[in-house]
Amino acid sequence: MAEEIKNNNIMTEAQPLPTAKENAAKSADAETLQSIFKPHIQTVQPQESALATKGMIKCWADALTRLTDFEGRTTRYEFWAFQSVSLVIFLLLALIGYFLSEPKMVIDIFALYFLLPAASSATRRLHDIALSGWWVLPAVVLALATLICWNFDVHNMILLLFATLVYVTYLLSLLRQKNDGSDNKYGVAAKEAEIYHFESRAYISFMFTFMIGLWLIFIAYLLKF
């Protein structure tokens, strides 16, 4: 009986703590195993959040709410979606004005609505391609001068119309450029989905088709003289 108690005491006796040398050896073994298996461990990278869908009507509404915002950047898709919706509205108003026999009044109303948000949106689009927004100012001045002369029935507007068309065409050619995808002093570059690039090209084609129409009207106006 005494021997059995003695054996139990031996079994339950506390084991000695590992020495510092043994701990260092275990740590070295763990590091060695980690270095062997680490290349085979697949780490899961967090996926980038999907780009939010933004339709052309939303872009148009956003541009109207930012009509006095001349800071920051606007993407190519946002700018041209806004321009396309505005052009459709203009064509509808021109058609209404034709049937009402009041084209000047309709175009004046549209110009008052369109000019400021168009100028602010174009300024932010220029910022997006790292250009100064002051490029928009001559287009605004020329557009206002043309509108005023048209309302006062100034007949000899050839030079003014020519200058306006030339400069607006040049400005639109700048605004159709893509940004380089990098941040600049005007703000952080926004990422756009590939479908946005396709839609942007469609909107740009629509606008430049309209510009070609304006050039044809101008040529017809020249032939009258």
Mean pLDDT per block of 10 residues along the chain (225 residues) reads: 50 52 54 50 38 73 90 93 92 81 75 88 95 95 90 85 95 92 89 80 93 92 79
H-type helices in the chain, by residue range?
A: 2-12, 20-37, 56-65, 76-100, 103-128, 136-151, 158-175, 194-223
Domain extent listing, the chain: 56-223
What is the number of alpha carbons within 13 Å of residue 53 lying toward its C-beta?
Answer: 1
pLDDT at 18: 55
DSSP secondary structure string for all residues of 192-216: --HHHHHHHHHHHHHHHHHHHHHHH
Distance CA 125, CA 132 (A): 10
* Residue 25, pLDDT score: 54
Q: Look at residue 22 in the predicted model and tell me its pLDDT.
A: 56
Rounded CA-CA distance 110/142 in Å is 16
Smallest CA-to-CA distance from 87 within 176, 216, 203 is with: 203
* One-character DSSP codes across 79-119: HHHHHHHHHHHHHHHHHHHHHHT-HHHHHHHHHHHHHHHHH
- Whole-angstrom CA distances from 150 to 10, 73, 103, 158 are 112, 33, 11, 12
pLDDT of residue 176: 93
Q: Rounded to the nearest 5 degrees, what angle is found at the Cα of 176, between the Cα atoms of 57 and 54?
A: 25
Are the beta carbons of 188 and 128 closer than 8 angstroms? no
For residue 222, the model assigns a pLDDT of 86
Which of 31, 121, 33 is CA-nearest to residue 85? Answer: 121
